[in-house]
Chains A and B, each alone.
Chain A
């Protein structure tokens, strides 16, 4: 059994650690980087709660070993807000009651961020399809879908302002 040194950027901060090969990226982020916004539900790639952004694309951190992310750039939900300014998705989830217990929320926010980057004006069906890998047991998804639509409109308006 080997332990290995890993170095990665987590929410803009360079972190190094020595991990067992079997340590998942999720456990590394939670236990070694204190990024406890990475939530672990099923630990086998079904629930989506542990979703992070790995080198620019979403990934399930429970289905990724920490050693696989050596040298990578990782963003967790902790990296989404700009200081105390919430990301438009976070604002919309708050305004629209897009969460109750909040367990699934970090994974959903990062998954929806990727959706809106690829598709700034998704239909309700596209939002629901994109949400299908993230299990929420509280909301029934309706308020999540509404929040994503609101956030999409805000993001479109702000990119139009910049444009």
Chain B
């Protein structure tokens, strides 16, 4: 359980990091917080020639309130996002979701850029980015570009990042004031990766009807899944139990789960429907649902 020999370069700027990646032609690996990468190195599942450490880049450690969205620098730690009052107000789904990431000790080190670039299909942050239509800002030798979450996550641990590009920021649209959020995650032990997790952000209209819903699922495909059909079904409806059940079935229908040692595809689909129903019920408490019914 020791990493294989490798070189290490502490980047002095984003441009420097990109340059080192370009020079190493795909054999370089970016080190952010290291909470996924260092275990992979220890198990020798990843054996890069050179690590490019972004740890010294204070310029990537900021949370900025922009018009319409919040921009979060890639090196911001998960724990910082989780306890940020700006994030709690502007993007309430994020802190609720991040509380399911590992344990505090892991969130103290793990970064938002690292989790995004790692693109574990069971991870919470990629699913939130997908639910909220966030943009991923990446920088390479020819400058920066912005990739929507729908296009960024391409497969199991696979993203639209070129080998000489790094994630530099996330742009997360602000939620409407009063947006209801909920996360329902099933894992074997607290802090484990999700077997399945469902994330919801729901806006209510003036008479208690669902104005808009955003729903994503982790652990139910090779990429985070957006439940568009369920969102359409919910839009404009009163949140009755029957509507929520029907939407939950649509959420499960949007998934393409896989078999692994933690559960079969069929099992994942079944618990997706249950978690989606609980998630919507949690976002839309009973009292309001019965008064709306």
Let me know if B105 and A1 touch, CB within 8 A. Answer: no
Interface size, chain B (Cβ < 8 Å)? 31
User: B residues 45-64 with Cβ under 8 Å of A?
Assistant: 51, 53, 55
Let me know if B105 and A43 touch, CB within 8 A. Answer: no
- State which of B30-38, B84-92, B204-212 sits at the interface with chain A: B30-38
Bound CA span A63–B39, Å: 6
Let me know if A58 and B6 touch, CB within 8 A. Answer: no
Bound CA span A60–B3, Å: 16
Let me know if A4 and B104 touch, CB within 8 A. Answer: no
Bound CA span A58–B35, Å: 13
Let me know if A133 and B191 touch, CB within 8 A. Answer: yes
Q: Of all chain B residues, which has the CB nearest A111?
A: B105
User: B residues 187-201 with Cβ under 8 Å of A?
Assistant: 189-191
- State which of A18-26, A76-84, A93-101, A142-150 sits at the interface with chain B: A18-26
A15: Cβ under 8 A from any B Cβ:
no
User: A residues 37-60 with Cβ under 8 Å of B?
Assistant: 42-45, 48, 51, 54, 57-60
Chain A residues with Cβ under 8 A from B53's Cβ? 67-68
Q: Of all chain B residues, which has the CB nearest A67?
A: B8
Chain A residues with Cβ under 8 A from B10's Cβ? 67, 70
Let me know if A68 and B31 touch, CB within 8 A. Answer: yes
Cβ-defined partner of A1 (8 Å) among B6, B41, B42, B103: B6
Chain A residues with Cβ under 8 A from B38's Cβ? 24, 45, 62-65
Let me know if B105 and A132 touch, CB within 8 A. Answer: no
Let me know if B7 and A58 touch, CB within 8 A. Answer: no
Chain A residues with Cβ under 8 A from B42's Cβ? 24, 43-44, 62
Main secondary structure of the interface of A (DSSP, over half): mixed
Main secondary structure of the interface of B (DSSP, over half): loop
Cβ-defined partner of A59 (8 Å) among B2, B3, B105, B190: B105
Let me know if B7 and A21 touch, CB within 8 A. Answer: yes
Let me know if B104 and A68 touch, CB within 8 A. Answer: no
Bound CA span A20–B53, Å: 15
Bound CA span A45–B189, Å: 14
Chain B residues with Cβ under 8 A from A44's Cβ? 1, 39, 42-43
Let me know if A130 and B1 touch, CB within 8 A. Answer: no
Let me know if B43 and A57 touch, CB within 8 A. Answer: no
B173: Cβ under 8 A from any A Cβ:
no
Let me know if B39 and A132 touch, CB within 8 A. Answer: no
Cβ-defined partner of B106 (8 Å) among A22, A115, A129, A133: A133
Let me know if A133 and B104 touch, CB within 8 A. Answer: yes
| Most chain A CB inside 10 Å of its own CB: which residue of B5, B42, B51, B191 | B42
Let me know if B102 and A133 touch, CB within 8 A. Answer: yes
B256: Cβ under 8 A from any A Cβ:
no
Known: A43-B42, A67-B8, A114-B105. 16 other contacts (CB 8 A): A1-B5, A1-B6, A21-B7, A22-B4, A22-B6, A24-B3, A43-B1, A57-B109, A58-B104, A59-B109, A63-B106, A68-B34, A68-B53, A129-B190, A130-B104, A133-B102
10 closest cross-chain pairs (CB), A and B: A133-B103, A21-B8, A43-B1, A22-B3, A44-B39, A57-B108, A1-B5, A132-B190, A58-B105, A63-B38
Sampled A-B contacts (18; CB under 8 Å):
A1-B7, A22-B41, A24-B2, A42-B1, A44-B1, A45-B35, A45-B106, A48-B105, A51-B105, A59-B105, A60-B105, A65-B34, A65-B38, A68-B31, A111-B104, A114-B105, A130-B103, A132-B103
A→B interface (CB under 8 Å): 1-2, 4, 20-22, 24, 27, 42-45, 48, 51, 54, 57-60, 62-65, 67-68, 70, 111, 114-115, 129-130, 132-133
